[in-house]
Structure 1
Amino acid sequence: MHCQPLNLSELIQQQDAEPPLKLIEQHINPAYAKVLKVLGYDVRYTRGEAQYLWDDQDNRYLDCLSGFGVFGVGRNHPVVRDAIKQTMDLNLPNLPKFGPSRTSGLLAAKLIDIAPGNLDTVYFCNSGAEGCETAIKYARAATGKNRILYCKKAYHGLTLGALSINGGTEFREGFGDLLVDTDAIDFNDVEALERELAKGDVAGFIFEPIQGKGVRIATQDFADAAATLCKKYKATLIADEVQTGLGRTGKMFAVEHFNLEPDVLVLSKALSGGHIPIGAVLSKRDIHNKVFSSLDRCVVHSTTFGQNDLAMVAGFATIHVLQNEKIVENAEAMGEKLMAGLNKLTEKYDMFKAVRGKGLMIALEFGPPKSLKLKVGWKLLHKVDQGLFPQAILIPLLKDHHILAQVAGHNMDVVKLLPSLVINEQDVNYLIQAFDQVIGACHKFPGPAWEVGKRLTQQALKKKNIQPTTTPSPITKA
């Protein structure tokens, strides 16, 4: 006999009667809750659809964070939702484990069909970090070598192995010794890449074609060298496309911009349409066979939920939507339009230095002003916290224009835009107008934007458990 069903709507209404962050503050992450309050990000969102969020006052927000890139096809896409509902209604024999899955083969075949190069096997997991952990093991098994090479400022996840190849020291501090035999080179440094690979002990080189931190784009020379040198020195070339994959950069995969064919490709984030945790590691057959090298090693690398039906069907439906609704093409067109409009603002404003990106993965970089008056405010903010200035852009953007965005990385004067790939021309025009107003306000000293900086400075200095150097960190995770 079953118990009474949950009334989820009632439970949420009961929680809504309490302060927005009460339970998070009590039971999940008090420091995170406090930072959200300081920054003014403690908005009570009540629903989401496509590229938008709504709060409890029914204000609509343009989401340019998209769950760190999870909602590529938009929030609650009806086709993906329907596929998940169908899965539940079919009562599939989910996760028999010692027995075949009814759905994982469908998604694997679909991924291989759209994958670049000769990738022809798929391993399913639950996240990008888990996928990068898998890639480390694959490279070591395939080559018989240990050392993993990665790039400075890279982000590959926060589990122990992924953290060992994470270029952000702010994430590594305080967790003791990490994996040995990992080394970092400067992004786009061909000479350093060859110098390390020539030592002959590198199992794999992992890199993001476009780095999430700062939205730094690989040069064609670097991509070409990675392919040539990894082959020459028998190292596994691993493309981390956790954030850049599945249309984000205006192509299905970012490596396509460089005509690059990796040995291993890691996917996650947008793959399930934002509904179910999923990761996928695509690899060449010979690498896969080195890992699963015999019958008694057929599950030598595995994960409990890796082929669950909900994730598999959501992934299949998401790719179906990407292909049939021309969402990748929209990302390319809207990205070009948005960057063109923002580039015009760099000619207008002293502190707005550059726009870069591909598709709808875009960075807005700011720098020191020439005006003596503005220099006072700039130096004051950077003296307190090297990453504080972008909040003078982002907080008014959220409060006054209802646009949610993020800082592009720790101690960077860079704002990052990562909207859902379904944004339209009206959204793009609105973004350009909003940035025009907010950046313009930053060029008036004293002015409202600098008041934001002043308030954050005071808060940072007052809160002993929220140091100035960590104020922006929750918005720079991925």
Structure 2
Amino acid sequence: MTEDATSLAKGFDLATLLAERGGERYELHAQYLNHQLPRMLHTIGFDKVYERAEGAYFWDAEGNDYLDMLAGFGVMGIGRHHPVVRKALHDVLDASLADLTRFDCQPLPGLLAEKLLQHSPHLDRVFFGNSGTEAVETALKFARYATGKKRILYCTHAFHGLTTGSLSVNGEAGFRDGFAPLLPDTAIEMGDLAALERELKRGDVAGFVVEPIQGKGVHETPPGFLRAAQELLHKHKALLIADEVQTGLGRTGDFYAYQHEEGVEPDLVCVAKALSGGYVPVGATLGKDWIFKKVYSSMDRVLVHSASFGSNAQAMAAGLAVLSVMEDEEVVANARATGEQLKTRLAELIPRYELLHDVRGRGLMIGIEFGRPSSLKLRSRWTMLQAARKGLFAQMVVVPLLQKHRILTQVSGDHLEVIKLIPPLTIGEKEVDRFVEAFTAVMEDAHGGGGLMWDFGKTLVKQAVANR
């Protein structure tokens, strides 16, 4: 370290800063960031203080472990603080590379692109950005430029990001309200080929962006839909865009979720989240050669689409390390086998609990749906919750899973009675046992009229009514 660097380091000590002020985390957030987040966490009892994390677990100051079935919304695909990724980041920092000069070609982006494309041999090139929403933005821009058309189709209830372009193909009105005007767009019901063809016949559609499994509610595209949609799109000279930001990199038991359907070869594929290793944000848009060559058609257009931090050395090193771990530890196969085990065991509970209606998904992307019970006693309580706000029962399940059983999960979307499980892809039988046992206990409590659970439901009802 140079003398200047040593001098600067004396003025900042991260460990000391965290030791002195880490206890202020919720107050700092309330004052300087999104003030509604700590309020919401306090209301539902999620205002925990986690001290450290590794793999599929967190630990609090008392040393209690918490099972992570959320994986940072899917970011922690190979778990938290994987030693291979940590070492790669230490190595790339120690290498002091001449990174982001902008007027050279570093090796790491090319090596990561080469590695990614091996899993989609029908695709040829990659653009690296910094997030999933950027990957979608890139795909939308490339589709519009390559086809010369402006309109984008998407599915109702879709989620593709929250920047203006990706928001234009977001199927939830709550995210879109107040941010118009957006891009010209049209939503269709997932699986509705007639609606797709009707829109394509208008002649102005650049592409159709779709999640092979929707994150909101965990709904798969119907069998054969992607292949048929691809044929219709190409017939009308439009592009199929697969949003694999959450479903990609092994999440569903195949490297990409679209690969579960034979013959599907999207023109553009968006990935992010798990590619980061949970450390450095990274997004990637994979595409066909002719699309990239159309966008970057001359030297004058070399920077027509770029990102200041795209392809940075830390992100590329993390991505390469993640792909290496996935191969060495057979992560995709584990997601497929463990996911099937978890889904099967949860599905076996459906006949036992009338509030439990469905268990669906692929690999380690599983949705648990609740619905109206048949018995009069439970039906009256269910009706009370639904009158206040749909989705409150699912929240009632998520809370005791954390409070009583130290398992972190999420409700799968606003106004949905669905819990989504997207744990690290490295979990095994021990974690499956722990989750199923805890979930069974919560279901027993709910169906047995457990006072604490339904009392908490009343609290949520009051909160929902107050927010109207």
Q: Which amino acid aligns with 1:51?
A: A
Q: What code does the residue aligned with 2:145 have?
A: A
Structure 1 counterpart of 2:58, from 40, 45, 53: 53
Q: Are the aligned partners of 2:224 and 2:261 in contact in 1 as well (CA < 8 Å)? A: no
Q: Could you report, residue by residue, the CA deviation over 1:97-131 in whole angstroms, capped at 9, with x for unpaired residues?
A: 0111231111011111122x410100000011011
Contact 1:208 / 1:240 at 8 angstroms: preserved in 2?
yes
Moved more, 55-64 or 395-404: 55-64
Matched-pair contact (CA < 8 Å) for 1:50–1:420: yes
The question of 1:40 aligning with 2:45 is answered yes
Alignment of 1:133-172 (within 5 A): 133-172=137-176
Q: Separation in 2 of the partners of 1:257 and 1:233?
A: 25
Match of 2:15 among 9, 19, 31: 9
Cα deviation for residue 88 of structure 1 reads: 0.5
Q: State which of 43, 52, 67 in structure 2 corresponds to 1:62.
A: 67
The one of 438, 442, 448 aligned to 2:452: 448
The equivalent position to 2:189 in structure 1, one of 179, 186, 189, is 186
Pick one of 97, 100, 103 that aligns with 2:105. Answer: 100
Q: Separation in 1 of the partners of 2:51 and 2:418?
A: 29
Q: Which range is displaced more, 451-460 or 410-419?
A: 451-460
**In the alignment, residue 14 of structure 1 is paired with which amino acid?**
E
Amino acid at match of 1:229: L
Contact 2:411 2:420 in 1 (8 A): yes
- Aligned residues: percent identity? 48
Query: Which SS does the other structure have where 1:421 is aligned?
Result: coil
Q: Partner residue of 2:221?
A: 218
Deviation at 1:338, TM superposition (A): 0.2
Distance 1:36 1:56 in 2: 18
CA separation in 2, counterparts of 1:55 and 1:408? 25
Shift of 1:199: 2.1
SS of the residue corresponding to residue 205 of structure 1 reads: strand
Structure 2: which 5+ residue stretches go unaligned? Answer: none
How many residue pairs get aligned? The number is 461
Measure, in 2, the Cα distance between the counterparts of 1:458 and 1:58: 34
- 1:245 has 2:251 as partner: no
Q: Once the two structures are superposed, what CA deviation does each residue of 1:240-269 show, in whole Å capped at 9, x if it has no partner?
A: 000000000011110110121100000000
The answer for the alignment partner of 1:30 in structure 2 is 35
Q: Deviations over 1:304-344 (max 9, x none)?
A: 00010000010011001011110111000100000010001
Secondary structure, aligned partner of 1:114: coil
Question: Aligned residue for 1:88?
Answer: 93
Return the match for 2:204 from 201, 206, 225.
Answer: 201
> Do 1:349 and 1:443's aligned partners in 2 also have CA atoms closer than 8 Å?
yes
Secondary structure of the 1:347 match is: helix
- Following superposition, the deviation at residue 448 of structure 1 comes to 2.3
Residues 328-365 of structure 1 deviation map (CA, whole Å, 9 limit, x = unaligned): 11000100000010001111100100100000000000
Distance 2:316 2:197 in 1: 39
Determine whether 1:120 maps to 2:127. no
Deviates further, 394-403 or 217-226:
217-226
User: 2-side partners of 1:446 and 1:376: how far apart?
Assistant: 15
Indicate yes or no: 2:79 matched with 1:74: yes
SS of residue paired to 1:401: coil
| Aligned-pair CA distance for 1:445 | 2.7
Partner of 1:349: 353
Moved more, 216-225 or 341-350: 216-225
Instruction: Extract unaligned runs of 5+ from structure 1.
Output: 469-478
CA contact (8 A) 2:57 2:66 kept: yes
Asked if the contact 1:239–1:265 (Cα under 8 Å) also holds between the matched residues in 2, the reply is: yes
Measure the CA separation in 2 of the matches of 1:172 and 1:113: 36
1: CA distance, partners of 2:179 / 2:285: 27
SS at match of 1:275: coil
Separation (CA, whole Å) in 2 of partners of 1:373 and 1:264? 51
Q: Aligned-pair distance for 1:162?
A: 0.5
State the distance in 1 between where 2:347 and 2:9 align: 57
* Residue 309, structure 1, aligned to residue 313, structure 2: yes
Q: Give per-residue Cα distances to partners, 1:190-223, cap 9 Å, x unaligned.
A: 2111211222211001000000100100112211
1:231-242 pair list within 5 angstroms: 231-242=234-245
Counterpart selection for 2:288 from 284, 295, 306: 284
Equivalent AA in structure 2 for residue 208 of structure 1: E
Give, as a single letter, the amino acid of the residue that structure 1 aligns with 2:213.
I
> Matches of 2:465 and 2:259 in 1, distance apart?
46
Q: Tell me if the contact between 2:342 and 2:432 (Cα under 8 Å) persists in the aligned partners.
A: yes
* 2:70 maps to amino acid: L
SS in 2 for 1:357: strand
Distance (Å, rounded) in 1 between the aligned partners of 2:198 and 2:273: 33
Q: CA deviation at 1:446?
A: 5.6
Alpha-carbon separation, structure 2, partners of 1:329 and 1:240: 22
Tell me, in whole angstroms, the C-alpha distance in 2 between the residues paired with 1:26 and 1:348: 46
SS at structure 2 position matched to 1:364:
strand
Which whole-Å CA distance do the structure 1 matches of 2:114 and 2:15 have between them? Answer: 38
- Equivalent in 265, 269, 272 of residue 269 of structure 2: 265
User: Partner amino acid for 1:314?
Assistant: A
For each residue in 1:356-406, what CA deviation from the matched residue of structure 2 results, as whole angstroms up to 9, or x when unmatched? 000000000000000111111111111111121111100000000000000
**What SS does structure 2 have at the residue aligned with 1:333?**
helix
State the distance in 1 between where 2:373 and 2:465 align: 25
Q: For the residues of structure 1 that align with 2:23 and 2:70, how far apart are their CA atoms? A: 27
Classify the secondary structure of the residue corresponding to 2:348: helix
For residues 166 and 295 of structure 2, what CA distance do their matches in structure 1 show?
19
Counterparts of 2:202 and 2:62, CA distance in 1: 60
1:400 paired with 2:404, answer yes
Report the Cα offset of residue 16 of structure 1.
3.1
